A = this chain, B = another copy of it.
């Protein structure tokens, strides 16, 4: 093994962590979400643009509004999860850029004046942050259940606005009974990595 990260942490974040489909009733606290955010906010993005925005669906009323937008196979688990988070990309992230990238505050206007450029950058960098968030959920000893099986336009209209594009929805909690399928195979090193 050539890794500096200790094996228990490797297991917690990658090897034993799994996408959960069932959860216990144990709540996910605000303190836990704050601790997750305070860790993963440091994950790198281009120009530190940090375009990820998160809506925590906590109230019963909001949960009821969300469920009909989920794909049928995702409805029961999304209704039952202790916490559901809608992850979205802020396509107007450049407004915060002078604060976030003080080395070169002009980046806002020099690189990100055009909306299509911002949408592409926000999509990529918010996806990186979504992955950091999933790792962070696992770092908190919780299981994540990320899903893209939902009506994106419906969720955007119901919970976001025209400047925020949904990326994924993540169920969060302690894994319950029969929480996952057997681990699916991964591609071999040589199927993924080539050297030139």
Contacts and interface: CB of A to CB of B under 8 A. Distances in A.
B10 A39 contact: yes
A3 B127 contact: no
Assembly stoichiometry (copies): 2
Contact of A193 (B56, B168, B181): B56
A123 interface: yes
A50 B186 contact: yes
Interface residues of A, number: 83
Contacts of A39: 3, 5, 10, 14-15
B13 A185 contact: no
Interface in A57-80: 57-59, 62
Interface of A: 1-6, 8-10, 12-15, 17, 19, 29, 31-44, 46, 48, 50, 52-59, 62, 96, 99-103, 121, 123-124, 127-132, 134-135, 138-141, 144, 146-148, 159, 167-168, 181, 183-187, 189, 191-196
